């Protein structure tokens, strides 16, 4: 587990030097100094400017060598080509951290990449934030190591939310939006090109910091997957939500990410699986991120996420119900006795859930409180969403409504209360002071409630135990054919079909007789991995004569389709009785290591892409979770009278495959078991492809280095 405390001297410094400090408070080199003078930084500030004796009223130093002592942080606002020499001078002064505002590095092409490597070399053991960074601030200590113009419009409010963002401009956008919504941001870190310090490290530091409860992050790419995993694991253990906006989902978005921060966007499905593993709430916009953060700041994370809805609009109730179903939020019915009491108060009300007290509540505002109390006292709801729309924003209704809402909350203060109204900022603030989250749109409220439920489940889950390891095994020197692939996997405990390698029609006939008809026959070649594309697989071969003919057919087809292919013979295989075709696989991700894949095989994987990814290795219980999370689960459970497949056999195979992949190391590029036939009596890998980095390739690569 990585130690993230090394960032403390960057985020909580006692002294700051500004290299390239400007007397103009509106220039990039002048803003950080301006901010730390306006809202005074308690530590020492050392402006460095060779042309001036004072900068913005402070004594200036002509060069780094004349600085007194070793500042905790040096902020660099210089032309890119001047940065390497400045870093060398700072390193000689044993400065701990450098924040580089300058751009023109790896994000600018090959020349910039070379310059970025020069600053890494020049820094030595000094930590670098950036380059191309908007900087860092700590609201609690008034350290404003940033040039963001958003601080001109107002200071961040005190609070317990941290922002870690690769993009400075987008991070500042979230910062401004947070202030507009009265959300307090205590720490802001913009990592830019990430020549050294990454967003993952910033998340890890916030996870360990006692002044931060909620973490918002924007990333474009991940440089060190294991570092991010350590950070997310810490946040989960500390019950701190990580709300993450990952850019670069689309091909066009990935290209933009590359040009912006020279970051690899990576495989979006892989990162989605990793985030899901650690309970990270992935959002699609800054607004959604702030909505979830706003709700999470209350610290209520229901493991059993149930919502009660009280509304003055039947239409709104329907829309909320649709949203709740889409996002997995349960709406249990109000108990029968409570419903009877509500209908006695208002016979034409709808009392199941959503509960519609109709526009009559505008005449009798006490109906709101009475209905709400009946609902919350039933102990069926972990949250209450109350919809009053524009009616909650008018002067003739709002005071009475506030009083009734306070009555409801007093009856059950431990659950989450959200109010959907259209009201002035002042009135919204009053509702919030009463303990209600306020959203103008109920759909935003439902999404936030759903996120809190996912967090509750993630925080309640125990850290999964590691699966048992496999006996030591050796991988072949190069990518093997199907038969050898199956032998290797069988040693790992993965069930495969009974097979025989045959180099003549006579051998194939003997093998078929031993296995029992019908059999499957396949061309066997390490150079023909996708056999069906050349007609290299024949099913239901049911007589000796058919076996002999099939052998000759397969050899001929292979020679015609791939003349240079190495032909190892024909594989005669057991034909598994009818079952459900599944796919299992491994893909070695360059960022996160081996990732296991499970889904329905055949047409389902080709057309519907109904697959789930999971980071390796994982135990049998986790394998069950993976299998049961596919959309096509009903096909495995049995439809139209068919029996359910053997889930235990499938889960055991998937878990063993994940352990095999983890132990095999980076030489294992991929595994493809397609199909795996699942039946009520077990599961068997019918076909297997192992793609390996050849030993010779690895040796040549090492020699090049």
Q: State the DSSP string of 285-312.
A: SHHHHHHHHHHHTT----SS-BEEEEES
Are 568 and 664 in a shared domain?
no
Same domain, 564 and 597: no
Average pLDDT over residues 667-690: 94
Give yes or no for residue 263 having a pLDDT over 60.
Answer: no
440 and 544 in a common domain: no
* Nearest residue to 381 (alpha-carbon basis) of 418, 341, 348: 418
Closest CA to 119 of 140, 135, 103: 103
- At residue 311, the pLDDT reads 97
pLDDT of residue 268: 85
**Could you report the per-residue pLDDT of 274-318, keeping only the tens digit for each?**
999 999 999 999 999 999 999 999 999 999 999 999 999 999 999
Asked if residue 200 and residue 127 are part of one domain, the reply reads yes
Strand-pair partners of 307: 383
**Residue where a domain terminates, one of 525, 542, 574:** 574
137 and 236, same structural domain?
A: yes
Residue-level pLDDT at 14: 97
pLDDT reported for residue 699: 53
Please give the sequence-ordered ranges of beta strands (E in DSSP) within 353-468, or none if there are none. Answer: 355-356, 383-389, 416-421, 437-439
Total domain count, the chain? 4
487 assigned to some structural domain: no
- The three-class DSSP label of residue 632 is coil
- In this predicted structure, the answer to whether residue 412 has a pLDDT above a threshold of 90 is yes
Give residue 269's pLDDT band: very low, low, confident or very high (50, 70, 90): confident
Q: Could you tell me if 532 and 416 lie in one domain?
A: no
What is the SS3 assignment for 652? helix
**First and final C-alpha spacing in the chain:** 29
- DSSP characters for 439-491? ESSHHHHHHHHHHHHHHHHHHHSPPPPPPPPPPP----SS---HHHHHHHHHH
> 137 is written with which tokens?
């601030």
Question: What does pLDDT average to over the chain?
Answer: 93
What is the pLDDT, as a whole number, of residue 625?
A: 96
Tell whether 479 is covered by a domain: no
Q: Could you tell me if 112 and 151 lie in one domain?
A: yes
Which residue segment(s) compose the domain that 44 sits in?
Answer: 5-296
Is 356 within a domain?
yes
pLDDT at position 264: 33
Examine the domain organization and report whether 170 and 41 are in the same domain. yes
379 with 503, same domain? no
- What are the tokens at 13? 């410094």
List, as one string, the DSSP characters of 671-689: EEEEEEEEETTEEEE---E
Question: Residue 250: its pLDDT value, please?
Answer: 54
698 vs 460: which has the higher pLDDT: 460
When pLDDT is cut at 50, 70 and 90, the band that residue 641 belongs to is: confident
The H or E element that residue 520 is part of is strand 519-524
| Per-residue burial over 259-289, b = 16 or more CB atoms within 10 Å of its CB, e = otherwise | ebbbbbbbbebbbebbbbbbbbbbbeebebb
Task: Tell me, yes or no, whether 554 and 601 share the same domain.
Answer: no
Token pair 């199941």 in the structure block, residue? 352
CATH code for the domain in which residue 100 is found: 3.40.50.261
Identify whether 477 is part of a domain. no
Q: Is residue 301 part of a domain?
A: no
Residue 258: band (very low, low, confident or very high) from pLDDT cuts 50, 70, 90 = very low
Predicted local distance difference test score (pLDDT) of residue 472: 84
517 in a structural domain: yes
Q: What is the pLDDT of residues 376-411, one digit of tens each?
A: 999 999 999 999 999 999 999 999 999 999 999 999
Domain-located, residue 472: no
Outline where DSSP puts E strands in 606-698. Answer: 611-615, 668-679, 682-685, 689-692
- pLDDT tens for each residue of 189-248: 999 999 999 999 999 999 999 999 999 999 998 989 999 999 999 999 999 999 999 987
pLDDT (mean) for 658-684 = 94
Domain boundary (546, 574, 602) is at 574
Give the number of residues written for the chain.
Answer: 705
Burial (CB count within 10 angstroms: exposed 0-12, middle 13-18, buried 19+), residue 564: exposed
Domain of residue 654, CATH code: 3.30.470.20
- For residue 261, the model assigns a pLDDT of 29
Looking at 407, 438, 460, the residue that finishes a domain is: 460
Least confident range of 166-180, 204-218, 221-235, 595-609 = 595-609
- For the chain, how big is the Rg over CA atoms in Å? 31
Is the same domain home to 134 and 35? yes
Per-residue confidence (pLDDT) for residue 27, from 0 to 100:
97
User: Quick one: 594 and 546 in the same domain?
Assistant: no
Question: In this structure, is residue 384 part of a structural domain?
Answer: yes
């Amino acid at each position: 587990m990585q130690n993230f405390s090394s960032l403390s001297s960057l985020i909580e410094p006692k002294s700051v030097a500004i290299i390239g400090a400007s007397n103009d408070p509106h220039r990039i080199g002048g803003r950080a100094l301006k901010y730390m003078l306006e809202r005074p930084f308690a530590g020492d500030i050392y402006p460095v400017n060779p042309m001036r004796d004072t900068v913005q009223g402070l004594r200036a130093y002509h060069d780094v060598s004349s600085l007194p002592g070793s500042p905790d942080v040096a902020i660099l606002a210089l032309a890119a080509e001047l940065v390497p020499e400045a870093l060398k001078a700072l390193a000689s002064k044993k400065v701990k951290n450098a924040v580089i505002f300058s751009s023109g590095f790896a994000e600018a092409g090959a020349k910039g990449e070379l310059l970025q490597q020069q600053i890494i070399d020049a820094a030595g053991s000094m930590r670098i934030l950036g380059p191309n960074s908007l900087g860092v601030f700590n609201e609690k200590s008034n350290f404003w190591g940033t040039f963001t113009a958003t601080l001109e419009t107002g200071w961040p409010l005190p609070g317990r939310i941290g922002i870690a963002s690769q993009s400075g401009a987008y991070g500042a956008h979230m910062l401004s939006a947070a202030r507009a919504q009265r959300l307090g941001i205590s720490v802001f870190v913009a990592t830019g090109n990430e020549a050294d310090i990454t967003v993952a490290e910033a998340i890890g530091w916030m996870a360990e910091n006692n002044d931060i409860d909620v973490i918002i992050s924007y990333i474009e790419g991940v440089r060190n997957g294991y570092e991010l995993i350590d950070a997310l694991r810490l946040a989960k253990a500390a019950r701190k939500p990580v709300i993450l906006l990952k850019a670069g989902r689309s091909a066009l978005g990935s290209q933009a990410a590359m040009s912006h921060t020279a970051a690899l966007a990576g495989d979006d499905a892989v990162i989605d699986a990793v985030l899901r593993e650690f309970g990270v709430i992935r959002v699609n916009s800054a607004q959604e991120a702030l909505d979830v953060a706003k709700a999470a700041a209350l610290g209520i994370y229901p493991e059993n996420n149930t919502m009660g809805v009280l509304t003055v609009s039947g239409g709104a109730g329907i829309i909320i119900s649709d949203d709740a179903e889409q996002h997995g939020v349960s709406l249990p019915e109000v108990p029968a006795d409570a419903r009877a009491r509500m209908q006695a108060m208002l016979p034409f009300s709808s009392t199941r859930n959503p509960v519609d007290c109709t526009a009559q509540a505008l005449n009798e505002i006490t109906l709101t409180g009475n209905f709400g109390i009946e609902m919350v006292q039933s102990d069926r709801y972990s949250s209450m969403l109350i919809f009053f729309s524009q009616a909650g924003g008018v002067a003739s209704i709002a005071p009475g409504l506030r009083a009734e809402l306070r009555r409801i909350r007093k009856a059950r203060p431990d659950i989450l209360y959200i109010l959907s109204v259209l009201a002035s900022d002042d009135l919204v603030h009053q509702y919030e002071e009463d303990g209600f989250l306020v959203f103008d749109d109920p759909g935003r409220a439902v999404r936030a409630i759903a996120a809190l439920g996912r967090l509750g489940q993630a925080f309640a889950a125990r850290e999964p135990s590691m699966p048992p390891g496999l006996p030591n095994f050796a991988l072949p020197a190069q990518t093997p054919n199907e038969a050898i692939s199956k032998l290797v996997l069988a040693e790992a405990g993965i069930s495969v079909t009974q097979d025989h390698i045959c180099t003549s029609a006579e051998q194939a006939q003997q093998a078929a007789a031993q296995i029992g008809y019908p059999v499957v026959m396949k061309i066997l070649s390490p150079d023909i991995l996708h056999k069906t594309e050349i007609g290299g697989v024949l099913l239901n071969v049911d007589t000796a004569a058919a076996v002999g003919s099939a052998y000759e057919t397969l050899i001929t087809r292979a020679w015609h389709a791939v003349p240079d292919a190495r032909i190892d013979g024909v594989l005669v295989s057991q034909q598994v009785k009818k079952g459900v075709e599944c796919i299992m696989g491994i893909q070695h991700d360059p960022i996160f290591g081996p990732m296991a894949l499970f889904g329905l095989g055949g047409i389902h994987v080709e057309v519907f892409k109904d697959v789930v990814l999971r980071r390796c290795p994982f135990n049998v219980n986790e394998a069950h979770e993976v299998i049961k999370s596919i959309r096509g689960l009903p096909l495995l459970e049995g439809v139209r009278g068919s029996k359910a497949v053997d889930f235990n056999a499938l889960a055991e195979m998937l878990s063993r495959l994940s352990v095999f992949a983890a132990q095999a190391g980076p030489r294992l590029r991929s595994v493809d078991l397609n199909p795996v036939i699942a039946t009520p009596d077990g599961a068997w890998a019918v076909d297997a492809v192992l793609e390996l980095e050849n030993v010779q390739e690895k040796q040549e690569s090492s020699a090049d280095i």
